[in-house]
Structure 1
Amino acid sequence: MPRRNPPRKNSSNQEPRQMLRIIGGEWRSRKVPFPSVENLRPTPDRVRETLFNWLQNITPGARCLDLFAGSGALGLEALSRGASSVTFIDNSPAATYQLKDNLQTLKCQNGEVITSSAINWLEARQTDTEPRYDLVFLDPPFRKDMVPVICELLEKRNLLSDHAVIYIEAESELSQLLVPDSWKENRSKTAGQVTYRLFYKEPS
């Protein structure tokens, strides 16, 4: 009986990766990898398409903040559609490493990637001395009650421009979100277990 060679072992220590497709703009239909990290769930294509239809007059030239960036789906989509810059924040080193690599692959100079928890990063901002953002993507882990804390810190640190737009994804059973009084809900939609909302900040 011929001897069979033993199966080769995978020598790579990298996390298994999945692929994310950019929907529109300069990088339309480009695919980039992201790691399989716990709680990392990219915003679905259908939701992103609806969101960026809502934002089509806001994204070009916007300074963006992508909190809980994960795969970078929202920030990359914004850059592809003409945002002037995106700051990506995520606490997973695997996710941020891949994001930096993806930005290099896309030859993008307008993305900054920071490995940190969103709350720690926000708490470290110096009020009135930081850049102010026109468009914020907020997609925290579900059922952790993080939205009120994040929203309060964004306001306290004065990180929002006068007419900022804030996008929030949350579990659909959460019927109301505690957000600052100056944030007015403009649109909302539910897709499966996710409800996504767009808020416009009223200038003080």
Structure 2
Amino acid sequence: MSKSVENLVWHEATITKEDRQRKNNHKSCLLWFTGLSGSGKSTLANALDQVLYNNGLNSYVLDGDNVRQGLNQDLGFTDEDRIENIRRIGEVSKLFVDAGTIVSTAFISPFQADRERVRERFADHEFIEVYVRCNLEECEKRDVKGLYKKARAGEIPHFTGISSPYEAPEQPDLTVDTAEESVEQSLEKLVNYLKDKQIVR
């Protein structure tokens, strides 16, 4: 622990997370979408966000590319930078959950240990790991951003699935297979999960 942290004292908020959840009439949580590039993380996170918004719920999406253009613009794609990228997102997500919001994050987040460290920062059932499973061949076929082509050509170093490893979740809270399921089918799974856990009604 750094000396700067040692000299800080946590200040309890006047309005608690539970107060905000009661006001919102729903619980708050973090849905952590993880999977290869092109698997459909952002598509699903935003589709879920639309459903929640349409039902008057407080929600927000933190997208990997977007966050790297602001908060994490100083980070690259080495293993060390990926670890710090996920740590920061975990902390930002916790603020959203404390504010009573259902937050979805769409990050490759390739390392199991990093995802587990984020989980440890949350109360029970507040961190929901969603494995967006899609085989590499299908992701490369989609290549929605043209990244796989560049990675295969050696233009992008440390590219997950090609020159950098992806550690699939060992025990995800929910798995959707976007190579086999439609967006609507995966979305239905997500909504049903939130209802089953009584996060939303």
- For the aligned pair, the TM-score class normalised by the smaller chain equals 0.3 to 0.5
More strand by share: 1
Greater relative CO (CA pairs within 8 A, separation 6+): 2
Question: Is the radius of gyration larger for structure 1 or structure 2?
Answer: 1
More helix by share: 2
TM-score by length of 1: 0.34
